[in-house]
Amino acid sequence: MAAAAAVWQIGNPRTRNGQVAEGRPSMVTAIERLGATAIRLPAWGQRERTLDQDAILVERCLGGEDAAWEELIRSHTRRVYAICYRFTGTDGEAQDITQEVFLRVFQNLNSFRSGEGSFGVWLSRLTRNLLIDNYRRGKMQRASDSLDDKLAVIEETSPGFSKTDSQLNARETSELIQAGLQKLSPELREAVVLRDLEEMEYKDIAEVLKVPEGTVKSRINRGRAELARVLRKWKVAI
């Protein structure tokens, strides 16, 4: 079936010809939103159109249209990969889990009920569950394991180097922020990723994580504070 073939062809949706794909917030841009006073103004019209399109695609998929499966995968691969990458910190691991996510979608889409929530929330919950399962099985490579060595190399090659925004290039800053995320506990990391990088609403995050909205806000605040503490320790200006 073409839908299954499309799942197996999932590549790295973050890059195009070696460059970061447009349309995704960089880690540098995202970190600017980590302050507790950040204000977001959702594009409600766009959000509603996306929900309508997802509902139509799901119905077409359940009706057996191969083209609809391919479109559903194409529409959501980049976002699923972004969540996986920011949780795992490794491209290969993120691609493997992204592929597994869409295999699960292919197998379980008939369990989705549009009246019980959006497809995006359902997909995020499925992605989160696979990430947590993978983490608990101990198969996830941890970027934080080699972080101290990485920082030591930077410091040795640049004596007295102060890691400020003006001195670090975008790639180095992005790597350090990603490594900082790996220092957070899984429950704090996933909350920060879903809110500050994926820009999900508190109520949707609560539905994905299956915890009260107050717990979501608490985890986000704790995660932001811990990430800021780690970055300050490494002298990364944010």
Write down the pLDDT at residue 6. 60
- Alpha carbon distance 153, 91 (integer Å): 22
What number of other Cβ atoms are within 10 A of residue 1's Cβ?
10
Beta strands in the chain (DSSP E): 15-16, 19-20
DSSP 110: G
Kindly compute the dihedral angle of the four CA atoms of residues 208, 134, 224, 161, in this order, to the nearest 10 degrees. Answer: -150
In terms of average pLDDT, the best of 111-115, 144-148, 198-202 is 198-202
Q: How far apart are CA 220 and CA 164, in angstroms?
A: 25
Residue 124 or 155, more confident: 124
User: Could you read off the pLDDT of 157-181 as tens digits, one per residue?
Assistant: 444 444 444 444 667 777 888 889 9
Question: What does the pLDDT read at residue 169?
Answer: 62
pLDDT at 84: 93
Q: Is the pLDDT of residue 140 over 80?
A: no
Whether the Cβ atoms of residue 51 and residue 57 lie closer than 8 Å to each other: no
Q: For the residues 23-33, what does the mean pLDDT come to? A: 40
Integer Cα distance of 63 and 131 in angstroms: 29
Cβ–Cβ < 8 Å for 58, 71: no
- Whole-structure pTM value: 0.60
**Predicted confidence band of residue 194 (pLDDT cuts 50, 70, 90):** very high
Do residues 155 and 66 touch, judged by C-beta distance below 8 A?
Answer: no
Query: CA nearest 121: which of 76, 85, 153?
Result: 76
Mean pLDDT, residues 175-188 taken together: 89
Cross-strand bridge partners of residue 20: 15
* Cα separation values, 22 from 25, 46, 77, 86, 104, Å: 8, 18, 14, 17, 27
- Number of Cα atoms under 13 Å in the Cβ half of residue 64: 0
| Identity of the highest mean pLDDT range in 4-13, 19-28, 65-74 | 65-74
Query: Strand 15-16 and strand 19-20: pairing?
Result: antiparallel
Nearest alpha carbon to residue 223 among 212, 231, 233, 213: 231
How far apart (Å, rounded) are the C-alpha atoms in residues 185 and 172? 23
Comparing 26 with 138, which gets the higher pLDDT?
Answer: 138
Domains and CATH numbers, the chain: 44-141 (1.10.1740.10), 143-238 (1.10.10.10)
